[in-house]
Structure 1
Amino acid sequence: MDLRIFTEPQQGATYDDLLRLAVATEDAGYDAFFRSDHYLVMGESTGPEAGLPGPTDAWTTLAGLARDTTRLRLGTLVTSATFRHPGVLAIQVAQVDQMSGGRVELGLGAGWYEAEHTAYGIPFPPTRERFDRFEEKLAVITGLWSTPVGETFDHHGEHFQLRDSPALPKPAQRRVPIIIGGMGKRRTPELAARYATEFNVPFQPLDGVRTQFGRVRDACTAEGRDPEELVYSAALVLCCGRDERELGRRAGAIGREPDELRRNGLAGTPAEVVEKIGAYAEAGVQRVYLQVLDIADLDHVELVAAEVAPQLR
């Protein structure tokens, strides 16, 4: 089982906050550090001072981490397709991949959080149009990256038109991994079957994971693709403590209750967390993104690396 650290910086974090956690993640032996791509705090505290000092841009952050780390794979879970033109995003991701020496992964989704679009003047089309744009973005980004050097790329779609693009720069990797996820019943699995190297189910119980993985496997078969080519992953809130007192302290720090987290996340002692990850593995999960909500608690990621990860090898 592959464990990755996953953060939500829109809740309040500077670049230096994220760098400290990323370095701790690397030092603890994890293989990857991911962040969300959001511009507005979520949850009960949504006033003008919520989420101070304010949002950090996902790809600006990853560019910095590309130079300030040496081994970690870096990516988004997930970048909103509403935020950036596909041609610009293809350039950004390719450049960060070069800056990191080929350590970048692109999680991409249709976008869903309307309030952040309103707050920053970003258009937020209806659901169907967002998925149409998402699908076109996947076609444009992968088309630009796969165009041989010296040739040009054209795209004549409903929402995006590119003509005589030099399709540069190229990523350092031959193929940047693309992560698609969510619980959509039809288009999400279809797009994953066509474009993804990994499919992610976020914050779902075991039954939901099994059901959605089944849809993706069926979509791969319909597309003529081997379902085993994909990595199947899940994202879950992490709250691990050596004992009940430490668990309660960590749950309180993120405004949650231990019992609720035990039901809905990866919570409990290291032994409990190992057991629950084992249940997800039986449901087909090969990789888990550990959502760390208290990014100042470096001991948390070190505890899991020392007492959970070794039991999963």
Structure 2
Amino acid sequence: MRFGFHFMDFTIPGEPATIAPMMRDTAIAAEQIGASWFSVMDHYFQMEQFRTAHDPMLEGYTALGFVAGVTSRMKLGTIVTGVTYRHPALLAKIATTLDVLSGGRAFLGIGAAWYEREHLALGVPFPPLAERFERLEEAVQIALQMWSDDDGPYEGTHYRLAETINRPAPIQAPHPPIVIGGSGERKTLRLVAQYAQGCNLIASDVEAVAHKLQVLREHCDRLGTDYAAIEKTVQGPIVADPLTDPNAFLRSAEQLAALGVEHVHLRAAGPDMAGFVGRVGDTIAERLAAIRPAAG
């Protein structure tokens, strides 16, 4: 089973000067122990459910560009960019830039956005949820067109582009993987089935994951897309701290693997994120990598 790390806490002793070296050391440690992904949040403010809006938060893609310069193998992306944060064409250009400068390691993590306070605070439009989902689908369509040979116009309900020129093209072919975040059954998982190469499920127990994956399979069957080709990633309460009870964590990973989950995404816990990642490597990384997910 593959695993990755999510760097989400910038409240580090001595910050802001200590943030860059801690992120560097954490990313290097993650790559050294075999992590396949390294991700950051994409928010203007730190999440209030985690800390407060006044705690430190870095811009996601600048942070990933920094990580790209100190690593060479891990995939890099946001979990996840809210569709409201950037115009979709600009987002596709940014993800392309990350892919080119990282040597073909970017993925585009994207979702419908939810953090109203940061939008209102900085004057960023925050339309109703139904419209945000419409914009999410159009944003994915725009990215796919910009990553194709079609550089003509795009005409959507919310976005209209006269040209979709995007040079240089990404290194990855046909394009960087699209990972759509969230577990909503009617809209989010339908978009995963229709457009994405990866999902990022947040669930509280194995039974909930099994249900979400069945819903995703049904969407794929209706749309005629390949369920097996979608990387199934799980993050959240079910993916507990692997150092508190390593054996229990590995049992949960085995249960997830039996459902076809291929990737678990762990929070790089602070205040010493690099040290945490190193202890994961010493404790469970080899055993986790030895778990084989069930075929699609």
Q: For 2:213 and 2:156, how far apart are their aligned partners in 1?
A: 30
Matched residues, percent identical? 31
Gap runs ≥5 in structure 2: 291-296
Q: For 1:264 and 1:97, how far apart are their aligned partners in 2?
A: 28
TM-score, reference length from structure 2: 0.88
| Structure 2 partner of 1:46 | 52
Q: For 1:40 and 1:173, how far apart are their aligned partners in 2?
A: 31
Measured against aligned partners, the alpha-carbon deviations of 1:87-113 in whole angstroms (never above 9, x if no partner) come to 101111101110000011111101011
User: Which AA in structure 2 matches 1:162?
Assistant: L
Instruction: Report the more deviating stretch, 214-223 or 297-306.
Output: 297-306
Residue 212 of structure 1 deviates from its aligned partner by 0.9
Aligned residues: 281
Kindly indicate whether the alpha-carbon contact (under 8 Å) linking 1:4 and 1:290 is maintained by their aligned counterparts in 2.
yes
| Structure 1 partner of 2:205 | 205
Residue 236 of structure 1 deviates from its aligned partner by 3.1
Q: For 2:72 and 2:211, how far apart are their aligned partners in 1?
A: 37
Alignment match of 1:36 (pick from 37, 41, 49): 41
Kindly indicate whether the alpha-carbon contact (under 8 Å) linking 2:145 and 2:164 is maintained by their aligned counterparts in 1.
no
Residue 84 of structure 1 deviates from its aligned partner by 0.4
Q: Which structure is higher in strand share?
A: 1
Q: For 1:96 and 1:236, how far apart are their aligned partners in 2?
A: 26
Structure 1 residues 89 and 295, CA gap change in structure 2 (3 angstroms) = farther
Structure 1 residues 115 and 10, CA gap change in structure 2 (3 angstroms) = farther
Measured against aligned partners, the alpha-carbon deviations of 1:59-79 in whole angstroms (never above 9, x if no partner) come to 111112112222222111111
Kindly indicate whether the alpha-carbon contact (under 8 Å) linking 1:9 and 1:56 is maintained by their aligned counterparts in 2.
no
- 2:8 aligned with 1:16: no
SS at match of 1:204: coil
User: Which AA in structure 2 matches 1:307?
Assistant: T
| Structure 2 partner of 1:233 | 233
Instruction: Report the more deviating stretch, 300-309 or 156-165.
Output: 300-309
Kindly indicate whether the alpha-carbon contact (under 8 Å) linking 1:7 and 1:35 is maintained by their aligned counterparts in 2.
yes
| Structure 2 partner of 1:187 | 187
| Structure 2 partner of 1:154 | 153
User: Which AA in structure 2 matches 1:292?
Assistant: A
TM-score, reference length from structure 1: 0.84
Q: For 2:51 and 2:266, how far apart are their aligned partners in 1?
A: 23
Q: For 1:157 and 1:208, how far apart are their aligned partners in 2?
A: 35
| Structure 2 partner of 1:270 | 246
| Structure 1 partner of 2:145 | 143
Q: Which structure is higher in helix share?
A: 1
Gap runs ≥5 in structure 1: 238-262
- 2:162 aligned with 1:163: yes
